[in-house]
Amino acid sequence: MKSATRPQQMNTQSPIKKLPTNITGKDYVVGDLHGCYEQLERLLDHVRFDTTYDRLISVGDLIDRGPESLRCLNLLAKHWFHAVKGNHESMMIEFFEPYLVNGYLEYLDELYDNGFLENGGDWIQSYFVPDPGGMTEEFNLGIAMAQAMPSILIVGEGSSRFNVVHAELARSDLNSIFQPVWLDSDLDLWHTNQAIDPNTQEKLYWGRKLQRKKNFPAIESGLSITFCGHTFSENPRQVLSHLCIDTGAFISERRQYVEDAAFGLTLFDVRESRWFKASTGPSKIIESAHDYGVDRD
Ligand SMILES: [Mn+2]
C-alpha cells in the first residue's frame, strides 16, 4: 500500500559547482539517460567502472520517456555520480512547484494538456497517492535531489578542465557578435557570484543554436571542452568546444523502427577521449576514439 509523505523543502543550491580533478580514477560523462538505466548498467560493466575511484558525470535529463526514470534520478544519491540539471528536471520541478510549496496535491491536473506530462513525464502517475493527496516518499526524495542539481559543472582546472551543461553555452546572438559562446572566464565569474542571468539559464537548458549552426564567425578560444546533451543524433559530435553526446537512448528503447537501433546511450571516457554506445537493438556496444582537436593533459 502506497502512502504519501510531506515533500522536503530544499534550500537554494549553488547553480554552478566545481569538482576537483580526479587524480585517482577516471571521469566518464554520460548522455541524456531518460530513464534508460539498463543501457547505463551495460556500459558501466563494459568499461569496468570502479565506484571507489571513478566518477560518472551526467549532462542531465535523467528522467522522462524511458522505462526507469526514478531509478535514474536516484543515482544522484551516489557519491560517484554528479549531474547538471536538464530541461526535463526543470519541467518536473516547475510542474510540482505548488505541491513543493503547499505539501499537498489533490490530483494530477491537466493530464493531456501539460508540457511536462506530454513530453514523457507521465511516469510520475505511479507515485501519486490520492488519499491524502501527495507523492510517495521515494518520489519526494528524488525530486528533492533534482532541485539541488546545479546548471553547470566545472571539472578540474588548466588544460585538463572540462565543463558540463545540458544544452549549450551559446550567447544570445550567434551571428552578430564576434564571440558565439560564453567562455571559461564567464563561467568562473558566475561561479564566484553563484548567479546566472535568467535568460542565459534558459539557454543552458533549452538552447539548440550551436548544434544547428554551420558557419561560425570565429574559432573560439578560452572555452574548455564542454560536454552537453539535449539535441540527439546517431553519434557524438563536436561543434567548436561543445561536445554533444546525446545519442538518443530513449529512441532505441521504443524499438519502433529498424533505424531506432542505431541510437543508444553514450558513455564518454574523458581522459582517453573514447566513447561507448549501447543500444537496445543488437546487444553490442559500439566504441570509437574521438579527436578533441586541442591538446589536453
Ligand atoms: Mn533535454
81-83 vs 55-58, strand pairing mode: parallel
Q: Are 226 and 211 in contact (CB under 8 A)?
A: no
CA of 192 from ligand 1 middle (Å) equals 26
The separation between CA 273 and the C-alpha centre of its own chain, rounded to angstroms, equals 19
The pLDDT of residue 176 is: 56
Amino acid type, 156: G
CA of 90 from ligand 1 middle (Å) equals 10
The count of other CB atoms within 10 Å of the CB of residue 124 is: 21
Q: Where are the domains of the chain?
A: 4-281
> Does the pTM exceed 0.85?
yes
The separation between CA 32 and the C-alpha centre of its own chain, rounded to angstroms, equals 5
CA of 245 from ligand 1 middle (Å) equals 12
The pLDDT of residue 179 is: 73
The pLDDT of residue 215 is: 63
Residues 256 and 297: their CA atoms lie apart, in Å, by 42
Output DSSP code: residue 268. E
φ/ψ (deg, to 5) at 100? -65, -30
Q: Does domain 4-281 have CATH number 3.60.21.10?
A: yes
- The answer for residues whose C-beta is within 8 angstroms of residue 257's C-beta and 6 or more apart is none
Q: What is the pLDDT of residues 24-82, one digit of tens each?
A: 999 999 999 999 999 999 999 999 999 999 999 999 999 999 999 999 999 999 999 99
Instruction: State the cell numbers at 141.
Output: 526524495
Instruction: Collapse the DSSP code of 187 into the 3-class scheme (helix H, G, I; strand E, B; otherwise coil) and give the result.
Output: helix
- Give bridge partners of residue 277 from the DSSP assignment: 266, 286
Nearest to 140 by CA among 106, 93, 206: 93
CA of 24 from ligand 1 middle (Å) equals 31
In the set 88, 191, 230, 242, the catalytic residue is: 88
Q: What is the pLDDT of residues 148-194, one digit of tens each?
A: 999 999 999 999 999 999 999 988 766 655 678 899 999 999 999 99
Active-site residue 230, yes or no?
no
Radius of gyration from C-alpha coordinates of the chain? 19
